[in-house]
């Protein structure tokens, strides 16, 4: 039996596509799901369905649309290297413009009319969710192991919405000192930081060797509890 959700690719602007997934009710608060360096692949679309089943109108924008439209990559070898290359080609001003356009498109849909919108992202997408909180006008943001957030702490001063952070305790890419920098920069702002001691980077992705089911389940529950403020 198929899930009672509807998914399709839509165009935000010429050439810039996003994957839209509607909840069983057909309407609800909006949620941007922001990809890893591997594109809007099977896993990201599955995450979109997961949150649609939780009641959100989900939009997953194709962050790499200028470099390689609708590319889908795996997690090892050449695919991983290709993802790193594509991420390195992103231009910050263009990425911010795309986040703003995606947020505007999501907020403007009939299915979200009058409702709040949030952003959730993973790895590169976690950093983009943090940027969306500062620059794209979302009402809440969730960042999973957002690599590089600790290097963009100047954006913290522009954040007024609640932000939730999820970090892995055994992350080779994000050391504890980086988490401490984020914690210090967000002091006095509405935020939560959760660290999963036994997890590694990418722990939420069931297609990766680093997947950790207990941490992923706990983080998903915390994310849902946090995002209920959008309803």
Report the mean per-residue pLDDT for the chain. Answer: 97
CATH number at residue 191: 3.40.50.1820
The reply to whether 1 falls in a domain is no
- Going across the sheet that includes 57-61, the strands are 6-13, 16-22, 57-61, 30-34, 117-122, 140-144, 163-168, 191-196
Q: How far apart are CA 102 and CA 59, in angstroms?
A: 8
Residue 16 has pLDDT above 60, yes or no: yes
Task: Give the span between the Cα atoms of 145 and 174, in whole angstroms.
Answer: 8
d(CA 12, CA 21): 14
Inside any domain, residue 177 = yes
- Nearest Cα neighbor of 201 from 164, 147, 140 is 147
Answer yes or no: is pLDDT of 2 > 90: no
Judge contact between 63 and 37, C-beta under 8 A.
no
Question: Two tokens at 158?
Answer: 């522009």
The answer to whether residue 182 sits within a structural domain is yes
Per-residue confidence (pLDDT) for residue 221, from 0 to 100: 98
Give the pLDDT score at 163: 98
pLDDT at 211 over 60: yes
Mean local confidence (pLDDT), 172-177: 96
d(Cα 29, Cα 115) in Å, to the nearest integer?
5
pLDDT at 1 over 90: no
Number of separate domains in the chain: 1
In the predicted model, is pLDDT for residue 229 greater than 80?
A: yes
Q: Which residue has the tokens 């930081």?
A: 193
Q: Is residue 57 included in any domain, yes or no? A: yes
Q: Give the residue numbers spanning the domain of 74.
A: 6-230
- Specify the pLDDT at position 3: 72
Backbone angles phi, psi at 222, to 5 degrees: -65, -40
pLDDT tens for residues 114-134? 999 999 999 999 999 999 999
Residue 99 lies in a domain: yes
Q: What are the pLDDT digits (tens) for 50-101?
A: 999 999 999 999 999 999 999 999 999 999 999 999 999 999 999 999 999 9
Convert the pLDDT of each residue in 190-205 to its tens digit.
Answer: 999 999 999 999 999 9
pLDDT of 185 reads 98
> Distance of alpha carbon 5 from its chain centroid, rounded?
20
Over residues 96-116, mean pLDDT: 97
Q: What percent of the chain has pLDDT over 70?
A: 99
Burial status of residue 109 (CB atoms within 10 A of its CB: 0-12, 13-18, 19 or more): middle
- Residue 32's H or E segment, with its range, is strand 30-34
Q: Which residue has the tokens 């892995």?
A: 168
- Higher per-residue confidence, 59 vs 2: 59
Radius of gyration of the chain from Cα atoms? Answer: 16
Q: How far apart are CA 84 and CA 75, in angstroms?
A: 11
Percent of the chain beyond pLDDT 90?
97
194 vs 88: CA distance, rounded Å? 28
Neighbours of 206 (CB within 10 A): 12
Bridge partners of 193, per DSSP, are 165
220 located within any domain? yes
Residues facing 40 on adjacent strands = none
Q: Is residue 55 part of a domain?
A: yes
pLDDT tens-digit readout, 36-50: 999 999 999 999 999
């Amino acid at each position: 039996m198929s899930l009672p959700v509807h998914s399709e690719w839509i165009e935000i602007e010429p050439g810039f596509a996003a994957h839209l997934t509607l909840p069983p009710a057909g309407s609800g608060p909006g949620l941007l799901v922001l990809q890893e360096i591997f594109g809007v692949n099977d896993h990201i679309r599955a995450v979109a369905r997961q949150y649609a089943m939780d009641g959100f109108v989900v939009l997953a924008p194709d962050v790499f649309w200028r470099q390689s439209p609708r590319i889908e990559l795996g997690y090892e070898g050449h695919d991983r290297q290709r993802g790193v290359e594509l991420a390195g080609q992103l231009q910050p001003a263009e990425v911010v413009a795309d986040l703003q356009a995606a947020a505007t498109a999501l907020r403007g849909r009939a299915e979200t009319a009058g409702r709040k919108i949030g952003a959730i992202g993973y790895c590169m997408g976690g950093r983009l969710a943090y940027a969306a909180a500062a620059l794209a006008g979302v009402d809440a943001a969730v960042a999973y192991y957002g690599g590089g957030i600790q290097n963009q702490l100047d954006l913290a001063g522009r954040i007024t919405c609640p932000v939730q952070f999820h970090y892995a305790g055994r992350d080779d890419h994000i050391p504890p000192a980086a988490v401490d920098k984020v914690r210090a920069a967000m002091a006095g702002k509405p935020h939560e930081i959760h660290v999963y001691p036994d997890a590694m980077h990418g722990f939420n992705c069931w297609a990766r060797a680093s997947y950790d089911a207990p941490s992923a389940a706990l983080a998903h529950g915390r994310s849902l509890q946090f995002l209920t403020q959008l309803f």
